[in-house]
Structure 1
């Protein structure tokens, strides 16, 4: 097993973590990636190097995702055939939890399909947790469940374990900053990997003051898939609504107005989602994807029509009724398109989430 630690402008907590690991596991390989911290942090990395760590440095900050992929590349080239546990440099992952994740990866090797299982160290967010962190994890969990239909207790954890066979795929997933770790979760199912969660402590030192997370810029990167979908859906909604209003005036038929407006707006929405929104949208030929999309559109259209009719029967005007129906179906549409329509290659393993309370914390190579 190898421990990989990305670090950007670390304080003395990083050498303290390395010393703690060395005291417990003197021979475990540790790879530290200096993500362009600059010369003023040379003393910290020299201290880390003096404890026998492999230290990789480059000139300027490239982001956590880039640092992790740099580490995976070094491991593939120089230390192949070993599982990897990734931990953060700010001291918020306890040694016992790092070892617990490592043990879960080691144990999975002996189980059928265990070489395809990613292990997450999941915090329970109890105690004195900064509001920003609690809110961010809650929002990301909800969006992840909406996008995939899978429930993961902690989508933002930096403590993760990967079997050796997963390293080439880890290097191929897009994203150079904080969005990279969420992309791993989003794409794991499509690549045939499963996910297991083990319980770890929730630790925030100095209210997470050492974090380099930028709330606006990095949140936008993390939520980009859903934000693009919402923008695409809103554009289609505006087009659909305008055409619906125009056709309602021109033809005295709710059904024809709904059908005509949806035929145009759904065609535009399909092209945007396939080419822009979903990462795997173009993996499937347009004909097959189109058949799936318009089958979905037909089902949603029938439900949409039924909802509008029901709302109008309840005394709600046509335009507000349509808006209410569209909002009701938005989440369903995103989940189905993400999981089924533009899913790329089929999953080989189902997601599994288990509570892991094993106290066996010995790392084995």
Structure 2
């Protein structure tokens, strides 16, 4: 028998979580070590009388938290994950609970993700007659710090016997009350590169006596764009973007510098495309360097892997979401070139992440902008889907 939790079943639990979200939003922290955020989450768990709580999952000062709720019947062990960190952005929402810390804000909705997971825990703490074990994972450092990888490397899966992972992400392109699924590769490999052309500087009036790295770097910017247009199969999606050029000094209008540096990002979904782009980047940089008589240094860092939503688990999660919300409120989504370190967890165990609609008249700003704010009215919807999926997956074969 399918277990179904509807959003309206969670009003009491969401009411508990919303003040926690507002407190987190007003006091955002960045990175892996989030002492104030951690303290607020731990206080919420204590208020819910959840006493099987583990901290510092991820090692050292990593503020990874795991809370465990065991049902009254045997079953499987399923994990739900919420990220908890903020971004280095100056907030301009004008909300009463806006960030009190200059240059920091919850601009990606991680405060809302945390509130949704606390809503799940609040409900289960009141209704413990379920099968299996729920693992609630509160993960810091999603925004460029690979907090998920630290928790995985610290034995998250093995320590707690996790069999599957599920998560949500608020999305202002999806209408409030709806959720969206995409099976397979849903988010991209997120890589970073740096190319340094080391030449020979000199006076701008005598370029013949120099090996000009600015010219080499300029040619490289254009040549790198041919990787996607001329080397990558048109059926495969890829992005190569040079996002920074650094050479010389503002005051040095007659000085050809010694070196020039390009930095940027690469986004792909398939590993063979990722390998091809890295290879071609080295070949292009080396070829241009030979042409201009200088030495290149290419650094290519594979930061986050592509996020893969398991086909079977995504199909079942979507079907369960339809029972909780109605078919008209569950839609297809498109894969996006953004990175998401939940991918590290999905590399270890199957599962999926879905998009939670937050868009209404007052919530239209996209993530990573200074006017973004999570929509509290979406918390019950997101938590209902997480609960319905988790309860049924924990009870499977029971």
Superposed pair shares fold, TM > 0.5: no
In the superposition, the TM-score normalised over structure 2's length comes to 0.25
* Higher normalized strand content (fraction of residues): 2
In the superposition, the TM-score normalised over structure 1's length comes to 0.27
